Amino acid sequence: MAAALGRGLVSRQALLALAAPVLGLLAWHLATTGRAYSLIPPPWDVAVQWWDLAFGGVWDDLYSATLLDHVLASLGRVYGGFLLAALVAVPLGLLIGRVAVVRDLLDPSLQILRPIPVTAWLPLAMIVFGIGPRSAFFLVFLGAFYPILLNTIFGVRSVEARLFEAAAMLGVSRQATFWKVVLPASLPSIFTGLRLGLGFAWVVIVVGEMTGVQTGLGAIIMEARQLSRTEIVISGMITIGLLGFVSDRLIQALGRRLLRWSPQHG
């Protein structure tokens, strides 16, 4: 009974979630199909192109069956940059949040660098890291860095004073407070930061791959644009959207597992 109800709920949700894309697709179809001079290709052409990109067998050109290579290249940069950002931003955020000296030392500088859009770093990144995948990697790192850092700091700063008192009266030493209270209490915020950071990583990857990179979703989007192969551009966009969506779902599922205790995540 409860299971049936649950399934009903899920399918209702899925139905609602599909409504907007279906309507959008319909509008797109009506606006483009059968018009000789449409600059935007109709959905069906894009679907065929996507299929060829993924599996080949339709056009058999330079792009056929290359999607996996591009996806893997982008995935590597997104997750590599993201993991590196997490590795730096989480400990740094914990330190800034917890140690006044570190906060006074670093916080002002980080706050000045923060408003600079990631894209504005591109020219500098290309000078420092050269034209190529390393710049893309750096931009992804930068894009993921701030959401993780700021949320970690926020998490540490907003641990309830009551919990420190509770730990102290139960006999936790000052040094142990960090592991026993600060870290677990700020995990939900850290997690929110990771989720936002991963989202940004996917946003930034296209910009990062736009110059001087041979493979990657951003790279084929740029290349196809120059060749006016708009079906490929849209195929690449859709692929990024789907990958970003799946990766967000994965990290959310991980959060639900690890943070069962938190009313926001559990």
Partner 1 sequence: MDDLAPLPALATGTAAPAILDIQGVGKRFAFGTETITALSGATLRIPKGEFVCLIGPSGCGKSTLLRMIAGFESVSEGTLLMAGRHVAGPGPDRGMVFQDYGLFPWLTVRQNIGFGPAARGRPRAEVAATAARFLEMVGLDRFAEAYPHQLSGGMKQRVAIARVLANQAEVVLMDEPFGALDAMTRENLQRELLQIWESTQLTVIFVTHAIEEAILLAGRVVVMSPGPGRIVADERIPLPRPRDPTGVEFNALRRHLAALLGSRH
- Site residues (vs partner 1, CB under 8 A): 160, 162-163, 165-172, 176, 180-181, 184-185, 187, 260-263, 266
Q: How far is the CB of 186 from partner 1 (least distance, A)?
A: 10
Cβ burial, residue 46 (10 Å; 0-12/13-18/19+): buried
In three-state secondary structure terms, 18 is helix
- Pick between residue 116 and residue 168 the one whose CB is nearest to partner 1: 168
Nearest partner of 62 among 241, 234, 232, judged by Cα: 232
Q: Which is nearer to partner 1, 65 or 259 (CB)?
A: 259
C-alpha 208/C-alpha 130 separation (Å) is 12
* Phi then psi dihedrals of residue 211, to 5 deg: -125, 130
CB 133 within 8 A of CB 216: yes
Q: Quick one: 97 or 208, whose CB is closer to partner 1?
A: 97
Question: Residue 95: is it exposed, middle or buried by C-beta count within 10 angstroms (0-12/13-18/19+)?
Answer: middle
Residues 118, 169: Cα–Cα separation, whole Å = 46
Smallest gap from Cβ 264 to partner 1, in A, equals 10
- Shorter beta-carbon distance to partner 1: residue 43 or 155: 155
Shortest CB 185 distance to partner 1, Å: 7
Question: CB of residue 127 vs partner 1: minimum separation in angstroms?
Answer: 45
**Nearer to partner 1 among residue 79 and residue 154 (C-beta):** 154
> Which of 77, 80, 110, 75 has the alpha carbon at shortest distance from 92?
110
- Least spacing, CB of residue 42 vs partner 1, in Å: 51
Half-sphere exposure of 68 (CA within 13 A, CB side): 4
Shortest distance, position 9 Cβ to partner 1, whole Å: 21
DSSP line for 112-127: HHTTS-GGGGHHHHHH
Token reading at 241: 């959207």
Nearer to partner 1, 84 or 259 (CB): 259
- Minimum Å gap between C-beta 93 and partner 1 is 18
- Cβ nearer to partner 1, comparing 177 with 230: 177
Separation in Å, CA 107 to CA 100, 148, 171, 185, 194: 10, 14, 32, 22, 20
